[in-house]
Amino acid sequence: MRKILIVATALILAMSMFLMSGCGSSEEEAEKPEVTVLAAASLEDALNEIIEEYEKDADCTVTPSYGGSGDLVQQIEGGAPCDMFISASSSNMDDLDEGGYIDADTRVDLLTNTLTLIATPEMADVVSMDNLTSSEIGTISIGEPETVPAGNYATQVFDNMGITDQIADKIVYAKDVRAVLNYVVSGDADCGFVYRTDAVLEEDNISIIGDVDSSLHDPIVYPAAILNEAADVDNTTDFFEFLQTDYAKEVFEKYGFTVQ
């Protein structure tokens, strides 16, 4: 009986040590500092892949949040926690700079992109840049111009083509560029304006009509910067530098971005 008790006690001790070891590991992971990144919706796939690679050897975790750049600016101005911001528009970053929210010395232009016209497969033979005013095209989706840079670029295109009034009743606004893409994929819009990087993600489900003449809109630049109120400057800087490594550049290029 005494022998059985000794064995049982040894087993209990071993299990306790195992459980304590497991708890310690979880606590260590939980104690890792967090870097919060607010980024343009069009960056989601590329940035998620870069973050996954970075976190393999990093001393922190990176938590991204994606949306229209204008919306993200409003969140930052409203006090949302943010260590780093990556915009799809220079003007949105300018707003934060003027408000004293970013460390201007860290600001870099990471990437450029291309505005692209897409359509449902059924409308592929109808939709073109020269045919947007046609009665055959019922709906054109763009991002909200006030908060979505791609939507603002699209309105610049319409203005410069002199067709703004003629297509006003056709416009279907979306909260970000990915929502525009989804409207076309689902058939809720006949066509739409997204970035080339978004269009290639759904090539099997939409038709890429063509890239828009860049002279019709402002340059599409993606600036990045560290916030003045970054909670962990060291880890934020480390990830910021990782975004500019050869590995990160290759990932961005894989998804169709042009690296600056």
Residues annotated within a binding site for molybdate: 42, 69, 150, 177, 195
Q: Rounded distance, CA 226 to CA 38, Å?
A: 11
How big is the CA angle at 144 (ends 123 and 142), to the nearest 5 degrees? 15
Q: Helix or strand or coil: residue 243?
A: coil
Q: What are residue 84's phi and psi, to 5 degrees?
A: -145, 145
Amino acid, res. 245: T
In the annotated binding site, the residues are 42, 69, 150, 177, 195
Find all residues with CB under 8 Å of 164, minimum gap 6, and list them: 155, 158
Q: Which helix (H) or strand (E) holds 150?
A: helix 149-161
CA distance linking residue 32 with residue 131, whole number of Å = 54
